[in-house]
Structure 1
Amino acid sequence: MTGWQAGRQEMEWSGVEREFGTPLPADFKEICEVFGPGSFCGYLELLLPVDSTDPYSLVGRWEELKSRRDSPQVRSFFEPYRVFEESGLILWGVSVTEASYCWLADASKRPEEWPVVARTDPLEEWHRFDMSTGEFIWRVFTDREFRPVSVAAKVARPYFEAC
């Protein structure tokens, strides 16, 4: 999709998955290792499994949200869902326009069965997509009919920009 040709970056997933108490989707892990830090089309950034104290990492963001899960702000952000604890939303990506990309995760199910739940604005309703993370990302940038999350009309050719 992007023509990206960088070397693969092995990432430590066992500690991350131990923190969550569940494996994460294999395609997400592969996308993170293939692309590393950066953004798709200057728009979508993945939360990577770096230092868990980093508030912009996958675990760091989850820990921060989990610590405030009972606050009215966090509860209203995730409604009608909740922050993951055996089940709930795990935030895996964000956009420059405040879009949020999550899995509706359930530790009792295979992570490949988790749907993607997304919204393009914090004040909007969540939208559920029964597909893999990779297919979801692909369609956001290539499918003009993939409403309401598509940005394909604004992207001439999908690209990845490392940081």
Structure 2
Amino acid sequence: MSLRLPKTRKVDWPLAEAELGTALPEDFKLLCELYPSFGLGDFIGISGPASGHEESWAQSFRASLEDLEDLCAEAELAVPPRPYPAPGGLLPWAGSNQGDLFLWATDPAGPQEWTVTVASRSSVWWHYTGGAVQFLADLVTGAVKPWALPRVRPEATEW
């Protein structure tokens, strides 16, 4: 069964992005327009705004930054990470059912230059030099080593 929506979902991205205070990567926006909220391998959940609910989605997205602030403070890294809106700050875009976070490392050059940072529940942080959609593809195909994450099966289910 394919999860792809029969019609592209209309999302008011200017409204969602204004509420967030930043533009978002085009690959993520297209993913959200073509698919409902879904999970990969019953592990990673990806959720975008539904039509008419962009503002509440962005508000919940922003609320997750408070939890991220605590996680960043606990990270034992040479250069402590900081949440968005700090320059180069982290912005969550997905999570796992076991407490792992998948984040964008924002870049002043714009959202097309953002890369992925993984904060695993076991306190292992790692970086992927690509966007969210390519990261998901590489994770399920095994093209990228999952480090402290379990192997993610390519089965997609509604989340």
Q: So what's the TM-score if we normalise by structure 2?
A: 0.78
Task: Evaluate the alpha carbon distance shift between residue 126 and residue 109 of structure 1 in structure 2; reply closer, same or farther with a 3 A threshold.
Answer: same
Deviation at 1:92, TM superposition (A): 0.4
| 1:159 is the counterpart of 2:158 | no
Q: Which amino acid aligns with 1:103?
A: W
Task: Evaluate the alpha carbon distance shift between residue 145 and residue 5 of structure 1 in structure 2; reply closer, same or farther with a 3 A threshold.
Answer: closer
Q: Which amino acid aligns with 2:98?
A: T
C-alpha contact (below 8 Å) 1:92/1:101 kept by paired residues: yes
Structure 1 residue ranges without an equivalent (≥5): none
Q: Secondary structure at the match of 2:10?
A: coil
Moved over 2 A (4+): 2-6, 19-22, 49-54, 63-69, 73-79, 149-152
Residue correspondence of structure 1 range 90-101 to structure 2 within 5 A? 90-101=91-102
Q: Distance in 2 between matches of 1:100 and 1:142?
A: 20
C-alpha contact (below 8 Å) 1:52/1:60 kept by paired residues: no
Percent identical: 20
Deviation at 1:95, TM superposition (A): 0.6
Q: Distance in 2 between matches of 1:3 and 1:62?
A: 30
C-alpha contact (below 8 Å) 2:75/2:123 kept by paired residues: no
Deviation at 1:116, TM superposition (A): 0.4
Aligned match of 1:134: 133
Q: Which amino acid aligns with 1:132?
A: G
Deviation at 1:5, TM superposition (A): 3.8
Q: CA RMSD in A?
A: 2.9
Q: Secondary structure at the match of 1:82?
A: coil
Aligned match of 2:145: 146
Q: Distance in 2 between matches of 1:138 and 1:37?
A: 16
Cα deviation 1:123-145 (Å, max 9, x = unaligned) = 41321111111110011111165
Q: Distance in 2 between matches of 1:64 and 1:92?
A: 10
Structure 2 residue ranges without an equivalent (≥5): none
Q: So what's the TM-score if we normalise by structure 1?
A: 0.76
Deviation at 1:89, TM superposition (A): 0.7
Q: Secondary structure at the match of 2:90?
A: strand
Q: Which amino acid aligns with 2:81?
A: Y
Deviation at 1:58, TM superposition (A): 4.8
Higher deviation after alignment, 60-69 or 28-37: 60-69
